[in-house]
Amino acid sequence: MSFRILLAPKSQKFLDKLKNKEDKNRIEKKLKDLMINPELGKPLTGKLAGLWSLRFGKFRALYQIRKSELLVLILKLGHRKNVYD
């Protein structure tokens, strides 16, 4: 069973603007891994409960798993300093 990955517009824009090809490739590979195992990241708590966080070096993705739709929605993608704001 394979999930689809959908990036929110701001997440797609962040990925498109990323200049470092190594970082971009690392992120794209991890996103593909999410298609197979959407629970690869860690579940968040507190005000972000219901979301998951996936780490790629200094970057993070905040995402939601919609099992009924077989969808992983990447809500926010960015540097670890400000992705949780």
Residue pLDDT, tens place only, 14-25? 999 999 999 999
With cut-offs at 50, 70 and 90, classify the pLDDT of residue 85: confident
Domain of 16?
4-79
Residue pLDDT, tens place only, 35-69? 999 999 999 999 999 999 999 999 999 999 999 99
- Provide the pLDDT for residue 50: 96
Is residue 1 scored above 80 in pLDDT?
no
Say if residues 51 and 63 touch (Cβ distance below 8 Å): yes
- CB atoms near residue 76 (< 10 Å): 20
Total domain count, the chain: 1
Q: Is residue 84 part of a domain?
A: no
Q: How far apart are CA 35 and CA 3, in angstroms?
A: 5
Structure tokens at 66: 């919609």
Is residue 8 scored above 80 in pLDDT?
yes
CATH of the domain at 17: 3.30.2310.20
Is residue 5 scored above 90 in pLDDT?
yes
